[in-house]
Amino acid sequence: MAKKILSVAAIKDGAVIDHITAKQGLRIVRILELAKAGRTVTIGLNLPSKTHGKKDIVKVEGRPLTDEEASRIAVLAPHASINTIKEYEIVDKTAVTVPDILHGVIICPNPTCITNHEAAARSYRTATEGSKVSLTCRFCERIFSLEEIDEYEM
Ligand SMILES: [Zn+2]
């Protein structure tokens, strides 16, 4: 396991977000502002994945991810796993879980939703069925899948 990680680029302390749905890697770095404050971030795009065809990997040097960050990652990449690295060793590996209630992150795909016209705090109820995640906007009650989302809060 440790060898596999090293073959891409070793990090001493931090987190490796693996099995990110292809194309979501850059988005995760942007939305979570992982590269903020000069932090070293390594991004691998369209890497071969045994289970999902292609995947992205993001490595964040310097600190573990918070639970809040992990739940935001879950919405962008429900199959992701987070490896916490200490002294080049994986000390923890967890699959992300989609939060029951998601605050922000996503812009409601309903163009007439009030949250797209007024400064209302966006929030969504989530439901997971197998590998499918659906979200319900708490303002307009629009139900949509992750695939229908094309705009995210920055
Ligand atoms: Zn809405």
Residue-wise DSSP of 28-88: HHHHTTTTGGG--EEEEEEEEETTTEEEEEEEEESSPPPHHHHHHHHHH-TT-EEEEEETT
Q: What is the pLDDT of residue 147?
A: 81
Per-residue pLDDT of the chain (154 residues; tens, 9 = 90+): 555 554 456 889 999 999 998 989 999 999 899 998 888 999 999 999 887 789 999 999 998 999 889 988 998 898 899 999 999 999 999 999 989 999 888 899 999 999 999 988 999 999 988 778 899 999 999 999 988 887 888 6
What is the 138 CA–ligand 1 centroid distance (Å)? 7
For the whole model, what pTM was predicted?
A: 0.82
Neighbours of ion ligand 1 (CB under 5 A): 108, 110, 113, 137, 139-140
Q: How far is the CA of 87 from the centre of ligand 1 (A)?
A: 44
R_g over Cα of the chain:
16
d(CA 90, CA 84): 6
Cα 84 to ligand 1 centroid, rounded to whole Å: 35
Residue 47 exposed, middle or buried by CB count within 10 Å (0-12, 13-18, 19+)? middle
Dihedral angle sign, alpha carbons of residues 87, 51, 20, 7: positive
Distance of CA 144 to the CA centre of its chain: 18
